[in-house]
Amino acid sequence: MNPIQVQIVELIARRTGTKPALTDRIDQLGIDSLAMAEMIYDLESTFQIRTDDELLDLETLEELCLYIEARKPSGEMKN
């Protein structure tokens, strides 16, 4: 896994109490609407991006990683 994937998996693990894999479906990780809103906030602040409704259509963690990677500005990530 690349560093962005590792950060996303760790973020999801903290939110869900699971050990997710990139192939896991987001809807099967127990993320309800409140957890999804919190996760979106975490992703936006961690990676300094703005998300859109397309994020809600992603099915797997791998798709989420690709979505974040495509929107991440060049430069340092916030830890």
Which regions of the chain are under pLDDT 70? 74-79
Rounded to an integer, what distance in angstroms lies between the CA atom of residue 60 and that of residue 28? 9
Q: Which domains does the chain have, with CATH numbers?
A: 3-71 (1.10.1200.10)
Instruction: Specify the pLDDT at position 27.
Output: 87
pTM, 2 dp:
0.85
Residue type, position 70, single letter: A
Instruction: Specify the pLDDT at position 75.
Output: 54
Residues 26, 64 contacting (CB under 8 angstroms): yes
Please report where in the chains the tokens 């560093």 appear, as a residue: 3
Instruction: Specify the pLDDT at position 78.
Output: 47
